[in-house]
Structure 1
């Protein structure tokens, strides 16, 4: 199901995870759902009035089964760079594999069995780099290359799996699904301190916070 949660920001409800479309300088897809969510992504784009071929870029918050799952299926029609950070960009390219010495790495290895590699242009993004109106903030912990994207112009922040939402509040990524929960806490505090004000907080899991999203992030940082 597709829902416009704020001006120029659409949420696509996939199988237990969210993907998003934002109308920036070009239509921008943020994350891509699970390997079983092609219909949800394509139908959501159609409802928002955008063809897959009209997507100008993909912003990937991180490499996980439920965030990169449908990139390969979209690839025949998708001619746009996929922006990702560091280690996670290398995983997406197939240049590296998740480490077996970390429990989350093992989960990613298993997820790779049902995730087809995407034949797309993977553009490495740097901490503090701007893409359209968004600034990328390296927020490691959930994965080594996790990135949040914040647009002061649009008043929206895409937090990926740095935090999840429940009852209007944010909680940090937990141990089971994270490489390093200490790094998660550091990243939450760092993002709260560095990012400009924003109203809409878009998370991978839970409902996006349509008003007061930046304040919710700061409250989480204060609790950690």
Structure 2
């Protein structure tokens, strides 16, 4: 779905929390650069190729992948893309690098592992599947990012450090189009923009504080990885979510 000139919200079919659903990675491009934000679940590279084609962008022109955080539905096809396009550079916040590269156990795996003895058989099966999934998709990060960093791609992209969902979660703000790519800080439920539920956060208090950082930006549109596009009085809605309105 076209969001603005040079911005496409990709629609990738996926099994989300055991149900058929859609995830929404973001594609941003200019004459010289093609940037993908987040890389889906494992084994979705063919779906990404199709989504690029639908957007009118050659898949082999991809130059940069920016990861909002470490979760498997955001990094799952990264290694496959790197294998097919070895010149692609991958960027993520410095706090996420060790998890994505496999030097640290991913947060979701570690949380389940800490409760392993009390998990139901179904919970233990989820743990084993998740652990194997991460093991098979760990991948190299080429450059680490910091909050407030200004990336020069496609007219300028600002890195907003928004920890809480994970320790190094980031949102990205595309200045020219006033578009926020929210990762998993925000989502859409029944057409309303909401803060992602606290039960999926690493630190809910941190996530609430991170939300307040968005107030300083003039945001017209939000692309939520889970939920899609929101553009109804966006600044006002974000202020409401922070308790400032």
Which of the five TM-score ranges fits, normalised by the shorter chain?
Answer: 0.7 to 0.9
Q: How does 1:109-120 map to 2 (within 5 A)?
A: 111-115=130-134, 116-120=136-140
Q: How big is each residue's C-alpha offset from its partner over 1:169-211, in whole Å with a ceiling of 9 and x where there is no partner?
A: 221122321101111111101222x3x2121101110121145
- CA change 1:87–1:37 in 2 (3 A) is same
Q: Give the count of matched residue pairs.
A: 220
Matched-pair contact (CA < 8 Å) for 1:164–1:205? yes
- For the residue of structure 2 that corresponds to 1:171, the secondary structure is strand
Partner of residue 226, structure 2: 205
Matched-pair contact (CA < 8 Å) for 1:13–1:19? yes
- State which of 175, 178, 182 in structure 2 corresponds to 1:159: 182
The structure with the greater share of residues assigned to helix is 2
Q: Answer with 61-70 or 106-115: which moved more.
A: 106-115
Q: List alignment gaps of at least 5 residues for structure 1.
A: none
Q: How does 1:67-86 map to 2 (within 5 A)?
A: 67-78=74-85, 79-86=87-94
Q: State how far apart, in whole Å, the 1-side matches of 2:198 and 2:102 are.
A: 25
Specify the structure having the higher radius of gyration (Cα). Answer: 2
Partner of residue 126, structure 1: 146
Q: What is the TM-score of this pair, normalised by structure 2?
A: 0.80
Q: List alignment gaps of at least 5 residues for structure 2.
A: 15-20, 116-125
Q: Answer with 24-33 or 133-142: which moved more.
A: 24-33
Q: How does 1:89-104 map to 2 (within 5 A)?
A: 89-98=97-106, 102=111
Matched-pair contact (CA < 8 Å) for 2:183–2:224? yes
Q: How big is each residue's C-alpha offset from its partner over 1:13-71, in whole Å with a ceiling of 9 and x where there is no partner?
A: 22132111012561110111111422221100111222332112111111101111111
Q: Answer with 179-188 or 42-51: which moved more.
A: 42-51
- CA change 1:41–1:212 in 2 (3 A) is farther
How far residue 4 of structure 1 moved from its aligned partner, in angstroms, is: 1.4
Partner of residue 30, structure 1: 37
Q: How big is each residue's C-alpha offset from its partner over 1:129-160, in whole Å with a ceiling of 9 and x where there is no partner?
A: 11121110110111111000112222111100
- For the residue of structure 2 that corresponds to 1:75, the secondary structure is helix
Partner of residue 53, structure 1: 60
CA-based RMSD:
2.6
Q: State how far apart, in whole Å, the 1-side matches of 2:129 and 2:95 are.
A: 18
Q: What is the TM-score of this pair, normalised by structure 1?
A: 0.86
Partner of residue 6, structure 1: 4
- For the residue of structure 1 that corresponds to 2:80, the secondary structure is helix
1:19 partnered with 2:25: yes
Matched-pair contact (CA < 8 Å) for 1:200–1:209? yes
How far residue 109 of structure 1 moved from its aligned partner, in angstroms, is: 7.9
How far residue 119 of structure 1 moved from its aligned partner, in angstroms, is: 4.6
Q: How does 1:181-200 map to 2 (within 5 A)?
A: 181-192=204-215, 194=216, 196-200=217-221
Q: How big is each residue's C-alpha offset from its partner over 1:85-140, in whole Å with a ceiling of 9 and x where there is no partner?
A: 12312211222223566459988885241243355443100111111211101101
Q: State how far apart, in whole Å, the 1-side matches of 2:140 and 2:2 are.
A: 27
